[in-house]
Structure 1
Amino acid sequence: MTVTLDSAALRVLAPPLPARLSLTPRTTLAGRLDGAWWPRSRNLDAEFPALLDALDETWGRVTRVTVNPTHWPVIPHKVPVTGHTLHVGWFTEQDPDKVILLSRGAGRWDLLVIPPETEPAAAAQLMSAAALPGSVLTAGALLTAEAVTGGAVEARGGEDAWEAEGGACVSPFGYPMGCRSGPAPTHA
């Protein structure tokens, strides 16, 4: 005998885990991203309710979401969430590593989507980087930087990595931060 349960029935049997989310603090310093979301799967029906439950208090009722279909095997048109229905759209022109959330009257928010299979340490770095106020890095740039630098930094000891990367003069992703790593120049 085969039993089939839809995603709404599964949510009743096992309530969703809280969303793994990091949001940019409210400041006047606008950046390209408003934070990061680390879903547990690539199932939007299962993931969106927890995300919107976490955002309802902070951002108000999100009514529409857009994604790029590159990383999502199934994109539902509508997802039932607490108290309303979320309308989901997709655009191939949108950054595949980002989700755009829209709220009537409250605005738009762009979140980096961290792949579900990402290691926790790398996800923590990405969540912190995406939530920096005023950051000019795109979702794709953050993920590319983590892929390039993540493994190399983990292979060395902490102190060796600090010295090899220039200490505090380098961002967590290996980018120079505008400070000098050598002695200050002397004027004769």
Structure 2
Amino acid sequence: MNPPTGTGPPPRAGDRAPAHPERTSPRPARLALRPPTFPPGPVCGAWWPRTDDLMTELPALTEAFDATRGRVSRMASHRDTWPAAPCDLPVIGHTVKAAWFASGFDPHMIRLFSYGVGRWDLLVVPPRTETATAARLMAAAADPALHLTASELLAAERRLHAEDEAVREQGQMEQWEDEGGAPRRPSAPLSPPATVTVRDPLFASRQIR
């Protein structure tokens, strides 16, 4: 047996580099899906990625589907939804083929295909969306009673924000006038504060005083 070469002692087992690098799983995908017992709608749920880097975000999404609904083999999306549009997307254990559309495809949706199982259309909630807004959108996309496309869901949320902002501004103006910011008209009769009903297309109507 040849003696070990080198001037120092041989490395201990605990000091050796591992033969294969350890793989760390991505953070779980923020995902809400329509119950499978209901017929599919324009979307079957929503996905809220943390960034707009599809190469980074897709592995967590496919991992969730691979474990419960069959391995995702292909995906499709609008070309303007993501900064980059690669044809091959490496995910955990395999590669997903991508198809990109410039028209005729909802820009706020991603479509996943599982070989021999089916397809799933998901609303893509923009990454920088506020938490409360994202929660409403995801709940609405997964609600079997709603039949809105991805773009219609986002448009309904924008209308809700606009209506809430108008009610808020009206309340601030009335408070400013009550505190002496502007004289009231002498002929205007006093009346109790008005109740404004805001129609939320995603949920039941609610009243704001």
TM-score band w.r.t. shorter chain: 0.7 to 0.9
- By relative contact order (CA 8 Å, sep 6+), the higher-ranking structure is 1
Where does the alignment leave 5 or more consecutive residues of structure 2 unmatched? 1-21, 172-194
CA distance in 2, matches of 1:129, 1:172: 9
Query: Which residues in structure 2 correspond to 1:1-188 (within 5 Å)?
Result: 15-92=25-102, 93-150=104-161, 152-153=163-164, 164-165=196-197, 170-171=199-200, 173=202
Distance apart, 1:173 and its partner CA: 3.5
Matched residues, number? 158
Where does the alignment leave 5 or more consecutive residues of structure 1 unmatched? 1-11, 158-162, 177-188
Whether contact under 8 Å (2:70, 2:115) holds in the other structure is: no
Distance apart, 1:104 and its partner CA: 1.1
CA distance in 1, matches of 2:101, 2:143: 26
13-22 or 111-120, which moves further after superposition? 13-22
CA distance in 2, matches of 1:130, 1:153: 21
Cα shift readout 1:5-60 (whole Å, capped 9, x = no counterpart): xxxxxxx7864221110000112332111100001111110010010111112211
CA distance in 1, matches of 2:53, 2:143: 27
Whether contact under 8 Å (2:112, 2:121) holds in the other structure is: yes
Distance apart, 1:65 and its partner CA: 0.3
Distance apart, 1:152 and its partner CA: 4.0
Aligned to 2:186: none
Whether contact under 8 Å (2:160, 2:200) holds in the other structure is: no
Evaluate the alpha carbon distance shift between residue 14 and residue 59 of structure 1 in structure 2; reply closer, same or farther with a 3 A threshold: closer
Distance apart, 1:135 and its partner CA: 2.5
Q: Which amino acid aligns with 2:47?
A: W
CA distance in 2, matches of 1:100, 1:111: 6
Whether contact under 8 Å (2:156, 2:201) holds in the other structure is: no
Cα shift readout 1:130-183 (whole Å, capped 9, x = no counterpart): 0011522010000011112135437759xxxxx6336xxx5454787xxxxxxx
122-131 or 77-86, which moves further after superposition? 77-86
Q: Which amino acid aligns with 1:69?
A: R
Whether contact under 8 Å (1:23, 1:131) holds in the other structure is: yes
Aligned to 1:160: none
CA distance in 2, matches of 1:83, 1:174: 40
Evaluate the alpha carbon distance shift between residue 14 and residue 164 of structure 1 in structure 2; reply closer, same or farther with a 3 A threshold: farther
Cα shift readout 1:49-88 (whole Å, capped 9, x = no counterpart): 0101111122110100001011211011111112211111
Aligned to 2:5: none
Partner secondary structure for residue 63 of structure 1: strand
Whether contact under 8 Å (1:165, 1:174) holds in the other structure is: no
